């Protein structure tokens, strides 16, 4: 080869290198021909596709430059860059102004990187990812609601506010909550009181004297000392004795009483709800409360009482359950009533808790507890007389009272699935109305109590000394 030929070849190569830029190796290629119908071109956001024409073109136009950008690499090659999700049209014209073809350019979110990140963050989850218009569509089944939310949060990073959720959560999504209220109340009270009364003709027949328990008073026209001495309580533990000294009558009343009491309260509500849905339970009643409305009118409002349970379960991951609950046990308390003319309004004794906890299937949590110890005593006497040795005890009174209360609230959630109706037994299945023969002839108040066929174990014949109630595997 001569030097002249070498120089010509080098000059031609340099010219081609300047006029025709190299096509990116990562860009896809779409080939179009004259007269073809509109072609579909899919471009990922921040990705590029090369369009090649069999006929040289002279003019290019893009309907929406904000969605895609174009540049010509040669008279037959077009470089299309996706800028933002959407749909636009690329028009290609030849040198005479005639239409070569229209290309529909659809720019979609970059889901290839999203798929890779989703597999890394949630391995083993059967999630399908598709692009739709300018967004992302997620479908498939995930093992928990928490992982579903993670997938949604990650998709929002790639297509903000353009994510469609068609996923479903597998596994058990129904929760039965077992709540146990247990309260013990103990009370002890002791009292010692005395009263002394005198009367009779020695004092003129018109005066009497009564002393004791911190009280001293005079009364006229006393006919009997015993009528003046009255027990301060209900008369239990009271002893009355007296003697006569000539015309003087003396009566002494001693009260010594000790009382003990124990109260046991137990409530055990159970309620089932779907994950994420609120459930409510009330076993009790409603107490009427009058409310003045003005102009002498009175309306009535009803306050619920009894065993109340409101809760919202959320199955977070597998058998991990998040519980948002409110539980209460209440009952009317006549000892703290309000008397308005002829109307009496009772107060309410209420134990209530509201909290949010997280625990696994079958685990228990003591969500609330109360230990209360009240103690009070009092000592009263007649001035000066109560300080006398020995005899001073007749003019003194002492009272002692102590109350203790212990309360605990325990919750236990269970993941449950439904069963066939015949596998469950109702409390009413164990008792049937008696026939006329059983009722009038044999005096039976219930009919045949044999266990229904296919029902659960019958506990009606047990003495309840052992376990009974709800049984769950």
Burial class (CB in 10 A: 0-12, 13-18, 19+), 176: middle
Q: Are the folds of 38-108 and 111-169 the same?
A: no
- Residue 333 Cα distances to 155, 177, 202, 350, 463, angstroms: 57, 29, 52, 9, 32
Cα–Cα distance, 390 to 49 (Å, whole number)? 115
pLDDT for res 200: 56
430, 449 in Cβ contact below 8 A? yes
Tokens of 413: 């959630």
pLDDT for res 8: 47
134, 85 in Cβ contact below 8 A? yes
What is the fold, at CATH topology level, of the domain defined by 38-108? Immunoglobulin-like (2.60.40)
Report residues of the chain scoring pLDDT below 50. Answer: 1-3, 6-27, 202-207, 211-225, 231, 454-457, 459-460, 462-464, 466-468, 470-473
DSSP secondary structure letter of residue 40? E
Cα–Cα distance, 370 to 82 (Å, whole number)? 66
pLDDT for res 310: 92
pLDDT for res 393: 72
pTM over 0.75: no
pLDDT for res 350: 86
355, 369 in Cβ contact below 8 A? no
Please say whether the structural domain 111-169 has been given the CATH code 3.30.1340.30: yes
C-alpha angle with apex 311: 307 to 312, nearest 5 degrees? 165
List the one residue out of 342, 312, 341 whose CA is nearest residue 325.
Answer: 312
pLDDT for res 45: 80
pLDDT for res 356: 93
pLDDT for res 403: 87
List the one residue out of 149, 152, 109, 144 whose CA is nearest residue 124.
Answer: 144
pLDDT for res 202: 46
> Cα-flanking dihedrals φ and ψ of residue 50, to 5°?
-100, 130
Domain ranges of the chain: 38-108, 111-169, 421-461
């Amino acid at each position: 080869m001569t030097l002249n030929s070498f120089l010509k070849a080098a000059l031609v190569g340099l010219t081609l290198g300047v006029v025709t830029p190299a096509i990116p190796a990562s860009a896809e290629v779409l080939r179009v021909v004259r007269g073809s119908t509109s072609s579909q071109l899919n471009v990922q956001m921040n990705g590029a596709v090369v369009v090649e024409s069999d006929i040289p073109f002279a003019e290019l136009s893009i309907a929406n430059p904000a969605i895609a950008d174009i540049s010509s690499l040669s008279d037959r090659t077009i470089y299309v860059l996706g800028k933002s999700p959407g749909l636009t049209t690329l028009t290609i014209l030849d040198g005479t102004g005639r239409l070569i073809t229209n290309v529909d350019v659809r720019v979609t979110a970059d889901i290839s990187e999203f798929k890779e990140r989703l597999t890394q963050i949630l391995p083993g989850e059967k999630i399908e990812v598709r692009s739709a218009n300018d967004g992302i569509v997620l479908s498939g089944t995930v093992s928990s609601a928490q992982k579903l939310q993670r997938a949604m949060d990650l998709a929002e990073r790639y297509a903000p506010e353009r994510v469609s959720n068609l996923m479903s959560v597998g596994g058990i999504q129904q929760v039965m909550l077992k709540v146990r209220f247990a309260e013990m109340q103990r009370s002890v009270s002791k009292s010692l009181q005395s009263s002394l009364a005198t009367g009779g003709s020695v004092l003129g027949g018109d005066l009497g004297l009564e002393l004791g328990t911190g009280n001293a008073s005079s009364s006229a026209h006393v006919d009997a000392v015993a009528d003046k001495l009255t027990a301060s309580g209900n008369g239990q533990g009271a002893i009355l004795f007296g003697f006569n000294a000539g015309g003087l009558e003396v009566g002494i009343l001693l009260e010594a009483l000790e009382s003990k009491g124990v109260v046991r309260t137990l409530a055990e509500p159970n309620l089932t709800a779907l994950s994420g849905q609120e459930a409510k339970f009330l076993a009790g009643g409603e107490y009427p409360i009058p409310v003045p409305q003005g102009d002498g009118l009175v309306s009535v409002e009803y306050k619920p009482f009894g065993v109340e349970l409101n809760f919202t379960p959320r199955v977070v991951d597998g058998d991990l359950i998040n519980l948002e609950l409110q539980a209460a046990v209440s009952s009317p308390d006549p000892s703290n009533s309000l008397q308005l003319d002829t109307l009496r309004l009772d107060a309410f004794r209420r134990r209530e808790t509201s909290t949010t906890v997280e625990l696994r299937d079958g685990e228990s949590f003591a969500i609330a507890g109360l230990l209360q110890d009240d103690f009070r005593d009092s000592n009263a006497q007649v001035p000066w007389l109560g300080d006398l040795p020995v005899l001073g005890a007749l003019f003194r009174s002492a009272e002692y009272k102590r109350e203790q209360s212990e309360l605990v609230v325990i919750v236990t959630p269970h993941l449950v699935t439904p069963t066939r109706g015949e596998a469950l037994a109702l409390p009413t299945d164990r008792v049937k109305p008696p026939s006329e023969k059983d009722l009038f002839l044999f005096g039976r108040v219930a009919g045949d109590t044999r266990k229904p066929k296919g029902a659960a174990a019958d506990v009606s014949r047990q003495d309840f000394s052992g376990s009974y109630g709800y049984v769950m595997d």
